[in-house]
Amino acid sequence: MMIFLTGGNQMKITIESIRDRLSSYTSVRDDPAGRYQAAVALTLVCGSQNLELLLIKRTEREDDPWSGQIALPGGRIEERDSDLLDTAIRETREETAVDLTRGELMGELDDISTTNPVLPPMLVRPFVFSLDRKQEVRPNEEVSDHFWVPLEDLLDSRVAEEIEVRGYPLTVKGFRFGPNLVWGMTNQILTHFRELIRPV
């Protein structure tokens, strides 16, 4: 059940305006002690009409706390990664075949951490990239689908809805893109990004 919807943005967001905002923004860093570290990538590209953002749908799996959710490409840091930026690039390539080294790293957002006790203790660092053009997306077994979402929809599709998570009813805030509801940590990241790039 949809409870509310906000919108009304009429101003166009450009790569240049996003680059300008991120270049002057100092990201908030959190202490990773006692938590897994992970990274995700916000991947932007100029679509036929406007900027678009790559989202994925995670494959439904019993061993995945984020099973079936709409997400940003990313995952946990591994020993082969020199830092979390390497993690974001590697995980995006593994999950979608998109090569972020062919794009531009535009900036970083604030670290966020899991607060729900049923989830693994995790710190996530979001990185923002832009591509000159869309690359072919070839999802691996961890990804069941992908979407290029118009960035303008990110400003105009804020909702709160009642959903069922592992058999329990829950009211969540997030973004709706057609049949796809974005909530949880991905919602936190996109909300921060939304406020950062919103035209004033």
Residue 70's alpha-carbon distances to 15, 131, 182, in angstroms, are: 24, 21, 6
Q: Would you state the pLDDT for residue 11?
A: 56
Residue 100 within a domain: yes
Number of folded domains that form the chain: 1
Residue 158 within a domain: no
> How do beta strands 122-131 and 36-46 pair?
parallel
With a cut of 70, say whether residue 117 has pLDDT above it. no
Residue 41 within a domain: yes
Q: Which residue has the higher pLDDT, 109 or 116?
A: 109
CATH of the domain at 129: 3.90.79.10
Residue 1 within a domain: no
Beta bridge partners of 5: 159
What are the tens digits of pLDDT across the range 54-80? 999 998 767 666 567 899 999 999 999
Beta bridge partners of 128: 42, 107
- Residue range 101-108: average pLDDT? 97
Residue 168 within a domain: no
Output the pTM of the full model.
0.87
Residue 67's alpha-carbon distances to 14, 60, 165, 196, in angstroms, are: 33, 5, 10, 28
Residue 184 within a domain: no
C-alpha to C-alpha distance for 52 and 44, rounded to whole angstroms: 6
Closest CA to 142 of 97, 192, 188, 196: 97
Residue 192 within a domain: no
Q: Would you state the pLDDT for residue 89?
A: 98
How many other CB atoms sit within 10 Å of the CB of residue 165?
A: 14
- Tell me the residue range of the domain where 59 lies: 12-149
Tell me the percentage of the chain whose pLDDT exceeds 90.
54
Sign of CA dihedral 155, 131, 196, 29: positive
What are the tens digits of pLDDT across the range 125-162? 999 999 999 999 999 999 999 999 988 877 676 777 77
